[in-house]
Chains A and B, each alone.
Chain A
């Protein structure tokens, strides 16, 4: 690839960041507010979904992933895959056994 590539990196204006920050704070507020309500098994799911949305915002905007090439996105997919598959395979053990 060309050597001029080091300046192509687009970033966002101040406004976008404030907007994202506002969204993050709101989501934090929501996650604290709904934590008091018992959805049973869904409680933890709600908390994790909100955390994932927040993470998505930080990744794409604050960490400029949106303006990176596809290679970076594939990288993240690989890392996430490795982590998630480890969880899944581990729980093939823990979901089916009672140990004492």
Chain B
């Protein structure tokens, strides 16, 4: 154990416990989105044709592009942890910043995608949308709520990773104490996993 002199109370460092706590937290995130996937599955089951029609309005190219961005950001996140483990601080910071840039890119795409929908008058509560059949209202309702909540998680992730970068610069995160970075990484990969499911369910309905 680290034998720092100034231990005030018990400094009981247990990385396994931290990871366990983080995983348990991720389950709550999983179930949070799980609730919405339940909604999605029921409504798609009840309105297969309307979902098919409505999905045509989504831009598959932007969707695919965003998937690639998010997968790559997951890669750089994982790389930043290996870098810090190998005591390569600057490389780790570099990878973390790349992750943030990619995440921002994802959000910019999302902004334009939503913006385009809004300009066509398709947003929750709009007259344009309300004039469509029920199944399509449901599709877009789910689309906005699910990608919106996912986007919120991306934004939180950006903040979290920037905080980790700060910690890395300040040597709070070091090659033998990188649990914070690893937790942020776990969170980021979960955000990625959610998108892995959102993508085919919204953009690739044929």
Binding site for B on A (CB under 8 A): 1, 3-7, 9, 11-14, 17-18, 20-21, 24-25, 28, 31-32, 35-38, 43-44, 47-48, 50-51, 54-55, 58-59, 61-64, 68-69, 71-72, 75-76, 79, 82-83, 86-87, 90-91, 94-95
Contacts and interface: CB of A to CB of B under 8 A. Distances in A.
Task: Categorize the interface residue count of chain B.
Answer: 35 or more
A14 B166 CA distance: 23
15 contacts: A3-B12, A12-B82, A21-B71, A28-B64, A32-B60, A47-B201, A48-B197, A51-B196, A51-B199, A55-B196, A58-B193, A59-B193, A75-B27, A86-B38, A95-B45
A5 B20 CA distance: 13
Contacts of A83: 30-31, 34
B68 A35 contact: no
A94 B42 contact: yes
A4 B1 contact: yes
A44 B197 CA distance: 11
A95 B30 CA distance: 24
Interface string B78-106: 11011001000000000000000000000
B15 A5 contact: yes
Contacts of A69: 16
Contacts of B205: 44
Nearest to B12: A3
Interface of A, secondary structure class, is: helix
A79 B31 contact: yes
Of the listed residues A14, A37, A69, A72, the one surrounded by the most CB atoms of chain B closer than 10 A to its CB is A14
B192 A47 contact: no
A6 B38 contact: no
Interface of B: 1, 12-16, 19-20, 23-24, 27, 30-31, 34, 38, 41-42, 45-46, 60, 64, 67-68, 71-72, 74-75, 77-79, 81-82, 85, 176, 179, 182, 185-186, 189, 192-193, 196-197, 199-201, 204-206
Contact of B13 (A6, A14, A44, A55): A6
Contacts of B72: 21
Interface of B, secondary structure class, is: helix
Contacts of B199: 28, 31, 51
3 interchain residue pairs of minimum CB distance: A6-B15, A47-B200, A35-B204
Given A9-B15, A64-B182, 20 more contacts: A3-B1, A4-B1, A6-B13, A6-B15, A7-B15, A11-B81, A21-B71, A28-B67, A35-B200, A47-B204, A51-B196, A55-B196, A59-B193, A62-B185, A63-B185, A75-B23, A86-B38, A87-B41, A94-B42, A94-B46
